[in-house]
Chain A
Amino acid sequence: MAEQGSDKLRDEFLSESQEIVEQLNRDLLAMHAASQRHDPSGEGLRVDPDLVNSAFRAVHSLKGLAGLSGVERMMHLSHDLENLLDALRMGKVQLSPSVLDLLFEAIDHYQGICAEVAEHGISAGSAPNRTIDDFIRRVNLAADPEAAAKKAAAAAAAAAPSETPLGDFDLDPAQLAGLTEYEEHRLRENIRMGRNLYRIIGSVPFANLEEEFVNMRESLKPVGEVIAVVPAGLSSSNPELMDVELIFGASQNLPAVTAAISQSPLKVVQVPRRGGAPVPQSQMAPEATGKLDVRGALPSTTTGPDKPSASSQPKDAVVRGDDAPGESGSIKSFTPTVRVDIRKLDHLMNIVGELALVRSGIQVVYDDLRRDRGHAELARKLQDELRRLNRKLDDLQRGIQEVRMVPLSQVFEKLTRVVRQMNRESEKKEIQFVVTGGDTKLDKLMIEELSDPMMHMIRNAIDHGIENRDTRRSRGKPDHGTVAISAEQRGNKVVIEVFDDGNGIDTKRLVQKAIGKGLISEDQARALPREDQLNLIFLPGLSTRETADQSSGRGVGMDVVKTKITRMDGTVNTYSEPGQGTRFTITLPTTLAIIKALVIRTAGRTYAIPLNSVTESLMITYDQIRTVERREVYILRNRTLPLVRLDEMFSLSRPSEQIDPKQGYIVVVKLAQQQLGLLVDDLVGQQDIVIKSLGRTLKGIPGIAGATELGGQQTALVLDVRAVAREAMPRASEAA
């Protein structure tokens, strides 16, 4: 893969996984909080099924994302976590503090992987890592209690009495057992360097835990090293606080360390060396110590203090003291991503549009200045600056448009999950789902609008398109049906195809149905070319299947699909061969906000016609207009082009001097395969416009899409070409 491509892949992977990990973290925190509110003395903590499900979905999404991006380590991690969460969901495993801790530890590992990917690229996320493999083993043990018990017994038998290497300091053994391998390593290093050890004890508000930790870390950093953070659960005195304890190493003395965090309500206690004064235990809530003990009660470690390597310890979803990438989590986000309300972008876009008007104003000043001989030099300078302004404005506009663009993979991934699920549920069908072009970008709003129609089409393809295995065999097709979606950008359009190699559309039955429901007459049906017969599928109330099932409804699908896509200024085309399969081709414009328009004048009024529907414009004299069946047409390159006089369609009265124009312009607009000529008086030119809504009261006027400001305080209406064409050629547009 090209360097740039993999960078993009990495960025997208990071921003998305970050979001999901955050969600998972929130779920776990909520799960933790919920469990604390209830008597934890019973067997297992209270489980909120919604939270477990949400966490399950998050992990599942991470798995999909990791699989898609090729971050194998995260995929494996997620896969096994998914098992654990599934077991929780099904009640096979009780939620215990240790299980919760395991889940929290997962967050750190996810963040660790993200950090590595952020620094070294996607491939770094696939390298084997012992810590994570260890963790996965523990997750699997937790997910399968029976196996865990056996394992634990075996481990107990094999466990050698562990050394107490940190005996110099009077640290709580339960706490020591709770340290991760890395933390323990740092602890040893600090001792080796002859630093003093401190316990920093206190309570922080649960609500802004992360912020508190950042502050704490910031103020402590100049003095020494935070070796470990041990969140000890909710405070016994105040449920909104969380008791925490930091193990801190510093060469400085107690007053210096105390001074460093004088701003916070934390207490610093020096850990005495053996033989020194005993550590005052009173500062720590007894409950907290109890929790630490529970923490050690993982299936694999129930037999007491064991080898540190086997007990790399879970902790809460909070920071740990180190800067080593990948080894532990950090609360810093790894992608410099900001989520922005799309309306803010719309607002910015409007401002850009207005800036463009200011630019036109300056242009007028420049034109005046240029005519004045005395100011030739000034005019030249102004022109240079104007050019520069133009370029920057274009950049700005493109920049904002770019921000609104998101990859189609956001929709495609959802579809992948749906197909996976349907695949699982169906025994008679096997689906191979092929996705290409997920990196094609579209405006964010369109991506959201596309989600439902695409879902419908995929479900339809699987339910109605792909045949049962037996039928496929009898037709000589492979057992597994193929459903494919692809996307690509073609010019300023995005083309999305949905394909299945199944039944194809039975046009005969479709036509019969349409006649049966009175949607078309038999005469009409006979006259319909095959292509138009296929388009009947988009009529409301038509489904080729008598029975409806839960996933693909009762023929409400395709007309909704068409409506949605049409609303986005897109088109859907259908190709289908009986017995071979069906292909839907959706064509969409890439952006919605700012469009190029052809500004025209007719009967003294100014209108803007979106350029993406204009194929050409030509000047004619009115004696070139022919009449066919009392309708005006123009012969354009041997094709008959139906004409519409815009002023007549809109009943625009003409000023007396313009009453009988002798010449004018035809603006040729295109609607699917049909063309239509709009007869207007004059062409003004092309311009970028921002379409503004006409507001609640005036919206919906047939043929008008909105209004726009053209500069010089001039406001013009924007034509809804599709509606104009529909009105002018009702029959032709029906099939389109």
Chain B
Amino acid sequence: MSTQGRTVSVNRNSSGGNNNSSRPGIDPRAQHDVLTFDVADEEYGLGIEHIREISKFKPITEVPRVPGFVSGIILVRGQVVPVLDLRMRLRLTAVTPSGKSRILVVSRPAATESEAIPEDEREQFGLIVDRVNHVVRINDSEIEPPTVLAGHESEFVAGLSRIKMTEDETSPNPPQRTGTGLAAVEQYRIVILLDLLRVLTFEHAGSLRI
């Protein structure tokens, strides 16, 4: 990807890497491949290591007595996979899924570094997104901490990353990705990196029972 090796210092407190170094799992020199996708007109990203598959939208079996953002369950290769509506999980406006809607099947990341669950034994979840964009490579040093976001918005955010747009993206019909008001630079777009573990951690009526 074209962003490789470039340092964009538009941060308020500049030299992005240093104050990021305390964030778990982020090494300022490391790079991440991130799958980006749209949810309610904003672009989000998840490390591709979490993505198990991208599934077309399919009927979801509703489950009672769970938080509203749990759309229900689907079966993926015979296994029950809970599906979360990412719009509702992120407390954004709900819409009915369109033809571009996809279900990202992700596996739950380890809660601690010592928690070593083999990949195929990790619990899987489906995340409903409005549309899937593409994979970009992000320098960890370019990631801003979520503190720039106000209040609860930052709850599920691991960081923000600026991504230089490719030629064809900038020209014809640029989607409204400037909505956050943070990025005024036209040729860059903001990708909100999700804290997947937080997104996937929640309780329901039965959780408190043994």
- Given the known inter-chain contacts A697-B123, A715-B75, please indicate yes or no for A707 contacting B61, CB distance below 8 A: yes
- Given the known inter-chain contacts A707-B61, A707-B80, A716-B61, please indicate yes or no for A701 contacting B205, CB distance below 8 A: yes
Segment from A200-208, A326-334, A687-695 that makes contact with B: A687-695
Taking a contact as CB atoms under 8 Å apart, the answer to whether B62 and A707 are in contact is no
Instruction: Determine the distance from Cα of A603 to Cα of B125 in the docked complex, in whole angstroms.
Output: 26
Contact of B209 among A698, A700, A715, A717 (CB under 8 A): A700
Taking a contact as CB atoms under 8 Å apart, the answer to whether A701 and B80 are in contact is no
Taking a contact as CB atoms under 8 Å apart, the answer to whether B80 and A703 are in contact is no
Chain B interface mostly helix, strand, loop or mixed? loop
Contact of B62 among A350, A605, A698 (CB under 8 A): A605
Instruction: Determine the distance from Cα of A114 to Cα of B161 in the docked complex, in whole angstroms.
Output: 73
Q: What does the 1/0 interface line of A693-717 toward B look like (CB < 8 Å)?
A: 1111111111110110100011111
Name the B residues within 8 Å of A709 (CB-CB): 75, 78
- Given the known inter-chain contacts A700-B206, A700-B209, please indicate yes or no for A717 contacting B63, CB distance below 8 A: yes
Nearest-neighbour CB distance to chain A for B127, whole angstroms, equals: 13
Chain A CB within 8 A of B157 CB: no
Nearest-neighbour CB distance to chain B for A673, whole angstroms, equals: 25
Name the A residues within 8 Å of B64 (CB-CB): 650-652, 701, 703-704, 717
Nearest-neighbour CB distance to chain A for B196, whole angstroms, equals: 13
Name the B residues within 8 Å of A704 (CB-CB): 63-65, 206
Nearest-neighbour CB distance to chain A for B91, whole angstroms, equals: 20
Taking a contact as CB atoms under 8 Å apart, the answer to whether A702 and B206 are in contact is yes
Nearest-neighbour CB distance to chain A for B121, whole angstroms, equals: 10
Considering only CB atoms, which chain A residue lies closest to B74 in the complex? A715
Chain A CB within 8 A of B79 CB: yes
Contact of B63 among A606, A693, A698, A714 (CB under 8 A): A698
Taking a contact as CB atoms under 8 Å apart, the answer to whether A698 and B61 are in contact is no
Nearest-neighbour CB distance to chain A for B179, whole angstroms, equals: 31
Name the A residues within 8 Å of B202 (CB-CB): 697
Instruction: Determine the distance from Cα of A697 to Cα of B79 in the docked complex, in whole angstroms.
Output: 13
Considering only CB atoms, which chain B residue lies closest to A714 in the complex? B59
Considering only CB atoms, which chain B residue lies closest to A715 in the complex? B61
Name the B residues within 8 Å of A693 (CB-CB): 80
Name the A residues within 8 Å of B75 (CB-CB): 692, 707, 709, 715
Taking a contact as CB atoms under 8 Å apart, the answer to whether A695 and B82 are in contact is yes
Taking a contact as CB atoms under 8 Å apart, the answer to whether B81 and A701 are in contact is no
Which residues of B (49-69) have their CB < 8 Å from a CB of A? 58-59, 61-66
Name the A residues within 8 Å of B82 (CB-CB): 694-695, 697-698
Nearest-neighbour CB distance to chain A for B100, whole angstroms, equals: 21
- Given the known inter-chain contacts A354-B78, A692-B78, A697-B123, please indicate yes or no for A650 contacting B206, CB distance below 8 A: no
Considering only CB atoms, which chain A residue lies closest to B125 in the complex? A697
Taking a contact as CB atoms under 8 Å apart, the answer to whether B123 and A701 are in contact is no
Name the A residues within 8 Å of B59 (CB-CB): 713-715
Taking a contact as CB atoms under 8 Å apart, the answer to whether A697 and B78 are in contact is no
Nearest-neighbour CB distance to chain B for A243, whole angstroms, equals: 44
Instruction: Determine the distance from Cα of A700 to Cα of B82 in the docked complex, in whole angstroms.
Output: 14
Chain A CB within 8 A of B73 CB: yes
Name the B residues within 8 Å of A716 (CB-CB): 61
Q: What does the 1/0 interface line of B120-150 toward A look like (CB < 8 Å)?
A: 0001110000000000000000000000000
Chain A interface mostly helix, strand, loop or mixed? mixed
Considering only CB atoms, which chain B residue lies closest to A651 in the complex? B64
Name the A residues within 8 Å of B152 (CB-CB): none
Instruction: Determine the distance from Cα of A606 to Cα of B62 in the docked complex, in whole angstroms.
Output: 9
Taking a contact as CB atoms under 8 Å apart, the answer to whether B79 and A717 are in contact is no
Contact of A696 among B61, B73, B78, B123 (CB under 8 A): B123
- Given the known inter-chain contacts A713-B59, A715-B61, A717-B61, please indicate yes or no for A701 contacting B78, CB distance below 8 A: no
Which residues of A (599-621) have their CB < 8 Å from a CB of B? 605-606
Nearest-neighbour CB distance to chain A for B33, whole angstroms, equals: 26
Contact of A701 among B61, B74, B200, B204 (CB under 8 A): B204
- Given the known inter-chain contacts A350-B78, A697-B82, please indicate yes or no for A713 contacting B123, CB distance below 8 A: no
Instruction: Determine the distance from Cα of A651 to Cα of B81 in the docked complex, in whole angstroms.
Output: 22
Instruction: Determine the distance from Cα of A699 to Cα of B80 in the docked complex, in whole angstroms.
Output: 11
- Given the known inter-chain contacts A701-B205, A707-B73, please indicate yes or no for A694 contacting B80, CB distance below 8 A: yes
Name the A residues within 8 Å of B206 (CB-CB): 698-702, 704
Instruction: Determine the distance from Cα of A693 to Cα of B79 in the docked complex, in whole angstroms.
Output: 8
Q: What does the 1/0 interface line of B182-210 toward A look like (CB < 8 Å)?
A: 00000000000000000010101111010
Nearest-neighbour CB distance to chain B for A716, whole angstroms, equals: 7
Name the A residues within 8 Å of B74 (CB-CB): 715
Considering only CB atoms, which chain B residue lies closest to A606 in the complex? B61
Contact of B205 among A695, A697, A702, A715 (CB under 8 A): A702
Instruction: Determine the distance from Cα of A709 to Cα of B70 in the docked complex, in whole angstroms.
Output: 19
Taking a contact as CB atoms under 8 Å apart, the answer to whether B65 and A692 are in contact is no
Which residues of A (349-367) have their CB < 8 Å from a CB of B? 350, 354
Nearest-neighbour CB distance to chain A for B197, whole angstroms, equals: 12
Nearest-neighbour CB distance to chain A for B210, whole angstroms, equals: 8
Nearest-neighbour CB distance to chain B for A20, whole angstroms, equals: 34
Taking a contact as CB atoms under 8 Å apart, the answer to whether A702 and B209 are in contact is yes
Instruction: Determine the distance from Cα of A717 to Cα of B204 in the docked complex, in whole angstroms.
Output: 17
Name the B residues within 8 Å of A700 (CB-CB): 204, 206-207, 209
Which residue, of A354, A698, A707, A717, has the highest number of chain B Cβ atoms within 10 A? A698
Nearest-neighbour CB distance to chain A for B120, whole angstroms, equals: 14
Taking a contact as CB atoms under 8 Å apart, the answer to whether A713 and B200 are in contact is no
Considering only CB atoms, which chain A residue lies closest to B73 in the complex? A707
Instruction: Determine the distance from Cα of A652 to Cα of B73 in the docked complex, in whole angstroms.
Output: 16
Name the A residues within 8 Å of B61 (CB-CB): 605-606, 707, 715-717
Instruction: Determine the distance from Cα of A715 to Cα of B63 in the docked complex, in whole angstroms.
Output: 11
Name the B residues within 8 Å of A715 (CB-CB): 59, 61, 73-75
Name the B residues within 8 Å of A350 (CB-CB): 78
- Given the known inter-chain contacts A713-B59, A716-B61, please indicate yes or no for A698 contacting B78, CB distance below 8 A: no
Nearest-neighbour CB distance to chain A for B194, whole angstroms, equals: 17
Instruction: Determine the distance from Cα of A702 to Cα of B200 in the docked complex, in whole angstroms.
Output: 21
Which residue, of A692, A697, A713, A715, has the highest number of chain B Cβ atoms within 10 A? A697
Instruction: Determine the distance from Cα of A365 to Cα of B125 in the docked complex, in whole angstroms.
Output: 33
Nearest-neighbour CB distance to chain B for A7, whole angstroms, equals: 38
Name the A residues within 8 Å of B58 (CB-CB): 713
Instruction: Determine the distance from Cα of A706 to Cα of B73 in the docked complex, in whole angstroms.
Output: 11
Which residues of B (145-166) have their CB < 8 Å from a CB of A? none
Name the B residues within 8 Å of A701 (CB-CB): 63-66, 204-206
Name the B residues within 8 Å of A651 (CB-CB): 64-65
Nearest-neighbour CB distance to chain B for A465, whole angstroms, equals: 31
Nearest-neighbour CB distance to chain A for B207, whole angstroms, equals: 6
A-B contact pairs, 29 of them (CB 8 A): A354-B78, A605-B61, A651-B64, A652-B64, A692-B75, A692-B78, A692-B79, A694-B82, A695-B81, A695-B123, A697-B200, A697-B202, A698-B80, A698-B82, A698-B206, A700-B204, A700-B207, A701-B206, A702-B65, A702-B206, A703-B64, A707-B80, A709-B78, A715-B59, A715-B61, A715-B74, A716-B61, A717-B61, A717-B64
Q: A694-B73, A715-B73 are in contact. List 17 more A-B contacts (CB 8 A).
A: A354-B78, A605-B62, A606-B61, A652-B64, A694-B80, A694-B82, A695-B79, A697-B200, A697-B202, A698-B204, A699-B206, A700-B204, A701-B66, A701-B204, A702-B205, A702-B209, A716-B61
Chain A residues in the interface with B (C-beta under 8 A) = 350, 354, 605-606, 650-652, 692-704, 706-707, 709, 713-717
7 A-B pairs with least C-beta separation: A700-B206, A650-B64, A701-B206, A715-B61, A707-B80, A696-B123, A701-B65
